[in-house]
Amino acid sequence: MVSSVAGPEIERLIQLLARLPGLGPRSARRAALHLIKKREALMTPLSAALQVAIDKIQVCNTCGNIDTQNPCTVCTDMRRDPSIIVVVADVADLWALERAHATNGFYHVLGATLSPLDGVGPQDLTIDALVQRALDPRVTEIILALNATVDGQTTAHYITDLLQEANVKVTRLAHGVPVGGELDYLDEGTLSAAMRQRTLF
């Protein structure tokens, strides 16, 4: 039996931290120790922030974003362009696009991508709500900002078919050479996609 170096409260903290993405047991132990050492400066405010998050965070009924208000900050931002809806699989993707200031449109979070192997079907995604939003006459473009994976592209095709009825242009993100990327390091799929989707210089 492995002997424990700390009391059950600390072991519990380590076990919970180890469930976070990107943290294994070893880094969770290091994170726990760091929190304990920085009790006043970090652990107490973190605990308070977690409690606020538990009390206030909710899912936006319009777009599926996570925020402390519903409709969310993005959906209530009147400076945004109501003609554009950017479709993402996950809230993390929405936040990434916002960090990049990549678009001035509104968003729609699907919750996942279609994945027959994992048993994720259309009914598990917010596709019906997206089609409803696309029928709004103000909306003219749906941008599919989905992962360049088989599941992401399967989802993109499925949604494109459903949006035939709506009077909107359906676009997707370009696939190709990353900013700062060197051609020699790219895989064949990325290189050939970049060549197919070349643009006028």
Count of residues binding Zn ion (CB under 5 A)? 6
Query: Judged by CB, which is closer to Zn ion: 29, or 133?
Result: 133
Least Cα distance to 65 among 37, 93, 45, 41 occurs for 93
Dist. CA 126–CA 117, nearest whole Å = 19
Sequence-distant (≥ 6) Cβ neighbours of residue 163 within 8 angstroms: 131, 134, 142, 170
Work out how close the CB of 132 gets to Zn ion at its nearest, in angstroms, rounded to a whole number: 14
- Range in contact with Zn ion (rule: CB under 5 A) among 2-10, 46-54, 69-77, 110-118: 69-77
What is the side-by-side order of every strand in the sheet holding 105-109? 105-109, 81-88, 141-144, 169-172
Residue type, position 201, single letter = F
Query: Judged by CB, which is closer to Zn ion: 113, or 126?
Result: 126
63, 87, 156, 170: residue in contact with Zn ion (rule CB under 5 A): 63
Dist. CA 176–CA 190, nearest whole Å = 5
Dist. CA 63–CA 192, nearest whole Å = 34
Q: Is 72 in the site for Zn ion (CB under 5 A)?
A: yes
The two structure tokens encoding residue 111: 């919750």
Query: Judged by CB, which is closer to Zn ion: 15, or 61?
Result: 61
- Contacts (CB under 5 A) with Zn ion, residues 23-62: 60, 62
Query: Judged by CB, which is closer to Zn ion: 60, or 168?
Result: 60
- Range in contact with Zn ion (rule: CB under 5 A) among 5-13, 18-26, 48-56, 67-75: 67-75
Q: Is 110 in the site for Zn ion (CB under 5 A)?
A: no
Q: Radius of gyration of the chain from Cα atoms?
A: 22
Are 113 and 145 spatial neighbours (Cβ–Cβ below 8 Å)?
no
- Contacts (CB under 5 A) with Zn ion, residues 127-166: none
Query: Judged by CB, which is closer to Zn ion: 35, or 60?
Result: 60
Q: Is 88 in the site for Zn ion (CB under 5 A)?
A: no
Residues that bind Zn ion (CB under 5 A): 60, 62-63, 65, 72, 75
